[in-house]
Structure 1
């Protein structure tokens, strides 16, 4: 069968996209020393486009990486009504990656605590995180890979600024509060549009989140729309914002814990405070 011009063009575009994602993931891993020799990486798989792409790219890099590391895919079945339990086991068995399905009914807990109509994301995330941390320890995983991408990191920056009064976001690599787990975000340099295009091309069996993903008017959605408008008005603005996250000048901000403003006076050169007295000779 002769390949059409459109087919060749589509294949070429996909190859470029795949190379770009692999390059960005590889660069993030290198820059932040995310994966090292002998690491056992637990890849958190939600069934969304981001985590599918992360697993796929990591599996590709695993074959050519200069270090040996293990990948273990883990999904948490939160017992949401209508959750298709068969989809992920079938997919993961097909691609041949070791995996576990962790069953934990956080859905009932969230619905019981959060009033109807209120956003559930924060509590849901905390419950899920606690369960996954414990499971990572039980399987001997020393790294936990999360599927947050560049746009997630930028959105989180503005969420914390606008609603929390803090200048913070999601770091590409993080030590958990209990000092037991290292979290990594291999997609930190990847754009959401690239991930979406890759996911569509690969036809991943996407599982929608019916608990929180369908809720409207979330603050994150408002931030996302704001950033999209900025990007339309001035292409490249998101790129600059992310660069700023990675290029911080504490002395140009106002955090007294990060910069010693009190002792600046003592460190300055005080020579300019004294004027030279010319000696006038009197005959």
Structure 2
């Protein structure tokens, strides 16, 4: 089930996208004065939208920062190699196209019908980290949006036994790179509408994007179903990612349950109204 797109008012939509992206950047201090930001461009609607919005914010921001768009050509058969260079050249943004045949590796290693995302993302991440170092960038911008964050939360709960999502800002495991997700507050439906309005030359993915049985797609349909049944439910779910109560979970590494003790001096009957709130 696909959620209906909002009625398109380009000016209001652009204003909302810039406001939410700017708020995420400010809330998490994603971009600082003098930063050189590598915008990872896949050819999908989300990364196109991210680059478009960041370029608009770059012209209005009170700080100065650089953008460089980077696309990884993974060697997929029939990949239209001219689309992104032509688009980026016309746009006037510095860019780099990196060619690495990860497609053949993934197809060779992963059995037919199995999910390719894990291996594909690891290979892609390593290459992008290398390119980031070569380009001297200070931040790596990824195009994940609000829906991606929520889907990842439920994927980890349902299939990995973890309460874990995608953080808007993250230090890489080796400590050498800062990853940012400027679209963390932006709804996917708004990016879909913006891509249609702007006419981005979308390039489909023939690996993960073509796998209809992906667990992520199952979770996406579940969340869309919830939103259809009770509009606004996804807003509440997303708000929960910013309102964590470690003492009300069960992770002994996160909260010191073992040494939790009562204070006898405070052991007195609560007034009726206060007791009702416990």
Q: TM-score range by the shorter chain?
A: over 0.9
Counterparts of 1:160-179 in structure 2, within 5 Å, are 160-179=156-175
CA distance in 2, matches of 1:160, 1:255: 15
Aligned to 2:273: none
2:108 corresponds to: 112
Alignment of 1:208-247 (within 5 A): 208-247=204-243
Q: 2:126 aligns with which of 124, 127, 130?
A: 130
Q: Could you tell me which of 248, 259, 270 is aligned with 2:264?
A: 270
Distance 1:122 1:47 in 2: 20
**Which whole-Å CA distance do the structure 1 matches of 2:27 and 2:51 have between them?**
19
Give the superposition deviation at 1:132: 0.2
1:263 deviation in Å? 1.1
Deviation at 1:272, TM superposition (A): 6.5
In 2: Cα distance, 1:152 partner to 1:273 partner? 45
Find out whether 1:183 has 2:176 as its counterpart.
no
- Offset at 1:215? 1.1
TM-score (norm 2): 0.92
Q: Which residue of 1 aligns with 2:12?
A: 16
The structural deviation recorded for 1:246 is: 1.1
1:82-97 equivalences in 2 (<5 Å): 82-97=78-93
In 2, the alpha carbon distance for the partners of 1:227 and 1:237 equals 9
Tell me the CA shift for residue 45 of structure 1. Answer: 0.0
**How many residue pairs were aligned?**
262
Instruction: Report the Cα distance in structure 1 between the residues aligned to 2:246 and 2:225, rounded to whole angstroms.
Output: 29
Q: Which runs of 5+ in 1 are unaligned?
A: 1-9, 275-283
Distance 1:234 1:273, change over 3 A: closer
- Secondary structure of the residue aligned to 2:209 is coil
272 and 101 in structure 1: CA distance in 2 versus 1, 3 angstrom threshold = closer
CA distance in 2, matches of 1:218, 1:66: 42
TM-score, L = length of structure 1:
0.91
Higher mean alpha-carbon deviation, 113-122 vs 51-60, is at 113-122
Q: Does 1:79 align with 2:61?
A: no
Alignment partner, residue 117 of structure 2: 121
Q: Which runs of 4+ in 1 moved over 6 A?
A: none
Determine if the alignment matches structure 1 residue 139 to structure 2 residue 125: no
- Quote the Cα distance in structure 2 between the aligned partners of 1:232 and 1:273: 47
What is the RMSD computed on CA atoms of the aligned residues?
1.3
Report which stretch shifted further, 207-216 or 97-106: 207-216
